[in-house]
Structure 1
């Protein structure tokens, strides 16, 4: 499993190793030039801090380094300069390894960053223990937070080198070459495992092919942000409806549409008159009005539909 897939959420791991290498070169050059110009006097505030602390001034490792810097400043400076230039050399090798995909060229920078991470963590803890007796609480909290963020950044840079080693190992593996070709910067489409299909030339991946059903390739491309986003087709399972809602009829229109065959008229309405007699008889007004209402309702229905 790869330790990380991107550096600072935006850069690739390959670019992240280059950034880490450049920052390392700047830091090591600054340290080397400061020690070359000022000398071991630049460590005097740190030495005074250890000398006046009751808990650490008598420790063996403290006395050893203080005595070494005071009695042999030339040798102390030479060792620090050698370590700085070795760190710079490892950063240059890492840049070359990231550009040319040489995994073993990234290992030295990862080792140097790991030991630098351990040293800066140990020094930060000791300094915070000593400074808590000399400064106020607010400043101590600020220094603690700043030191923790810097330690996390150094550890993150070391993990970036490890992730680059894993990625180069992956792209140089036989399985990756079999699937995506020998050029990791221009990966090919996944090749078939059938012998007759392997003789065909591999096609370069086309991002516009929306009918590709290769799920593994789609997952790989989606992580890289190359697979276009498309929505699945929506199939309706609801029953078909009329394009327009059925009009609501008035009560007199609904009554007019009800013919005599479906709903026989009540004898009390027309008395003893026959249907044909009502048109010309006493009840003719009622029948004619009902007939007009039915015709109007039927014409309205045709117009609505």
Structure 2
């Protein structure tokens, strides 16, 4: 899965790697020139912050770097110069790798940018902890937001280099070359059969076949505007409605309609009497009312249907 398909939502990843490399060259060159002109004096404001902070001035790693810059400024400057030139070197290699699609030339810049991302994140956190005791809250919030945006931008650049590595691996794969041809800068519009040279006819794409499951080909054609839009079939999900509404029956009529001869009779009323005997004998009144309600309900049902 690719980390990204475009740089800054507009440029291609290939162009994004070139932009990242140019920005890296400018940044590293500025750092190198500043260190060459000013020497270790450029780090004096940062050293003063650590020296006057009660929490960090006695830390082992702080004392180590401060002592190194004070006792051996030449070696300290030389190490930073080497790092800056190495960063510029991998940026140039990355530009060449993006132009010629050489994946192993793009990966060193991703590693350098990732290391720079970790260092700048750690330094930003430490500086904000120290500055919160010396500046007001509004300025602290502004510096925190600016630092966070810059950290996110550096991390985004590192991910761009990794995405370019993934894309080069993809276009060099056998599956991609089978679908789009050998030249990734000029992909084929349609794939052709390569067996037996030109004896076989070009592959015919079944664009209107609903059972076509070639997802890769469908995605490629849809990006070129060749894949037709298929309107989904309309399927009714509502229950079938009757033409005429069912008449509303009274509760006693519904009860009489649900009563039939095969249902058990109420033994407390009917006992052992037959239905025809009940019309004229014991319980006849109840049986007659039920029979009239059932006839009315049946007539209403037949009237509407």
Secondary structure of 2:130's aligned partner: helix
* 1:217 Cα deviation from its structure 2 partner: 2.8
Report how far residue 189 of structure 1 moved. Answer: 3.9
Name the counterpart of 1:41: 41
Equivalent residues of 1:192, 1:198 under 8 A apart? no
State the shift of 1:191 in Å. 3.2
In 2 relative to 1, CA 87–152 (structure 1 residues): closer, same or farther, beyond 3 Å? same
Q: Tell me if the contact between 1:17 and 1:160 (Cα under 8 Å) persists in the aligned partners.
A: yes
1:261-284 CA-partner distances (Å, limit 9, x unpaired): xxxxxxxxxxxxxxxxxxxxxxxx
RMSD: 2.9
Distance (Å, rounded) in 2 between the aligned partners of 1:235 and 1:165 = 42
In structure 2, C-alpha distance between the alignment counterparts of 1:212 and 1:100, rounded to whole Å: 38
Deviation at 1:199, TM superposition (A): 5.3
Structure 1 residue 58, shift from structure 2 partner: 0.3
Q: Specify the alignment match of 2:186 in structure 1.
A: 186
Residue in 2 that maps onto 1:131: 131
Q: Give SS of 2:225's match.
A: coil
**What is aligned with 2:239?**
none
- For the residue of structure 2 that corresponds to 1:144, the secondary structure is helix
Which blocks of at least 5 consecutive residues in structure 1 are unaligned? 204-208, 237-305
Rate the CA distance shift 1:53–1:216 in 2: closer, same or farther, 3 A.
same
Q: Does the Cα contact within 8 Å between 1:191 and 1:198 map onto a contact in 2?
A: no
For residues 51 and 162 of structure 1, the distance between their equivalents in structure 2, rounded to whole angstroms, comes to: 39
1:222: how far off?
3.9
Equivalent in the alignment of 2:117: 117
Counterparts in 2 of 1:241-252, with a 5 A limit? none
- Distance in 1 (CA, whole Å) between partners of 2:88 and 2:160 is 17
3-state secondary structure, aligned to 1:10: coil
Trace 1:133-282 onto structure 2 (pairs within 5 A). Answer: 133-191=133-191, 195=195, 200=200, 216-223=216-223, 226-227=224-225
Q: 1:140 to 1:121 in 2, by over 3 A?
A: same
1:202 is displaced (CA, Å) by: 6.4
Deviation at 1:227, TM superposition (A): 1.8
In structure 2, relative to structure 1, the CA distance for the partners of 1:78 and 1:133 (3 Å cut) is same
Query: How far does residue 220 in structure 1 lie from its aligned partner after superposition?
Result: 2.6
Do the aligned partners of 1:188 and 1:202 also contact (CA within 8 Å) in 2?
no
Note if 1:32 corresponds to 2:26: no
Flag the 1:140–1:198 CA change in 2: closer, same or farther, 3 A: farther
| Structure exhibiting the larger radius of gyration computed from Cα positions | 1
**Aligned-residue offset at 1:212:** 7.3
Is the contact made by 2:221 and 2:227 (CA closer than 8 Å) also made in structure 1? no
| Number of residue-to-residue matches in the alignment | 231
Structure 1 residue 51, shift from structure 2 partner: 0.2
Q: Is the 8 A contact 2:192 2:202 kept in 1?
A: no
> After TM superposition, what 4+ stretches of structure 1 lie above 4 angstroms from structure 2?
192-203, 209-215, 228-236
Cα distance change, pair 227–139 in 1 and its aligned pair in 2 (3 A):
same
TM-score scaled by length of structure 1: 0.69
